Amino acid sequence: MSKENPITLGVLISGSGTNLQAIIDAIDAGKLDARVGVVVSSNPSAYGLTRAENAGIEHVAMAVEDYADPIKADQTIVKILQDHGVDYVAMAGYMRMVGEPLLQAFPNRIINLHPALLPSFPGAHGIADAFEHGVKVTGVTVHFANADMDAGPIIAQRTVLVEESDTVDTLEARIHETEHIVYPEVLQLIAEGRVKVEGRKVHIS
């Protein structure tokens, strides 16, 4: 796609939104032919909402009680995303599962980021789990979301070496740095129409 006709992203967050910021910065730098149509947060006090506000991006905060019925919450989010013309959904530290309403509304169009080399170390503690396991290589995985947590088709993986001097904090810092590079790069591949899913395999042309 050309910059005259960029894709519209919806970004789902729950926290500080550093990957949202990386997306915003990549767009501003001309490295990502996209616009962020709307940011949806599962947490009304997420700092990522302030980042959206500062960037002049529309944003919506869900409340904890909105998730009492997860299906209804998903339906609400689908409507918000569709109302903002969203083509692709980028999860960026979104701490809720995406359920059937979202997956059906955006089939193979919801992208997630995981701070480990999946299928190793899925779940909420991918960095610490890898460190405690004593791996010598970990990294970052960008994948399509599906009904199973952290198990969708893998679009890209980047490695981060565990150094002898690492603590979980220094490792975490390098993994986040890597995320902020690889996530906008993968979204750009998608914006260029170069990413195709075939079963479990993702082909990049």
Least distance to its own copies, CB of residue 119, Å? 5
Q: Are 116 and 138 in contact (CB under 8 A)?
A: yes
Q: Which stretch binds its own copies (CB under 8 A): 45-53, 63-71, 156-164, 171-179?
A: 156-164
202 counts as binding its own copies under rule CB under 8 A: yes
Among 71, 95, 137, 147, which residue sits at the site for its own copies (rule: CB under 8 A)?
137
Distance CA 79, CA 91 (A): 17
Q: Are 20 and 48 in contact (CB under 8 A)?
A: yes
Order of strands, edge to edge, in the sheet holding 110-114?
59-61, 34-41, 7-13, 88-91, 110-114, 137-144, 154-161
Q: Are 104 and 78 in contact (CB under 8 A)?
A: no
Least distance to its own copies, CB of residue 134, Å? 4
Least distance to its own copies, CB of residue 109, Å? 18
114 is catalytic: yes
User: Among residues 16 and 157, whose Cβ is nearest to its own copies?
Assistant: 157
Q: Are 31 and 77 in contact (CB under 8 A)?
A: no
Among 149, 154, 168, 189, which residue sits at the site for its own copies (rule: CB under 8 A)?
154
139 counts as binding its own copies under rule CB under 8 A: yes
Q: Are 19 and 180 in contact (CB under 8 A)?
A: yes
Q: List strand residue ranges (DSSP E) for 79-176, in order.
A: 88-91, 110-114, 137-144, 154-161
159 counts as binding its own copies under rule CB under 8 A: yes
123 counts as binding its own copies under rule CB under 8 A: no
Task: List the interface residues with its own copies, window 39-68 (CB under 8 A).
Answer: none
Q: Which stretch binds its own copies (CB under 8 A): 35-43, 76-84, 87-95, 130-138?
A: 130-138
Least distance to its own copies, CB of residue 112, Å? 15
Q: List strand residue ranges (DSSP E) for 80-183, in order.
A: 88-91, 110-114, 137-144, 154-161
Q: Are 29 and 184 in contact (CB under 8 A)?
A: no
Task: List the interface residues with its own copies, window 72-111 (CB under 8 A).
Answer: none
Residue numbers of the site for its own copies (CB under 8 A)?
117-121, 132-137, 139, 153-159, 164, 199-204
Looking at the annotation, which residues are catalytic?
Answer: 114
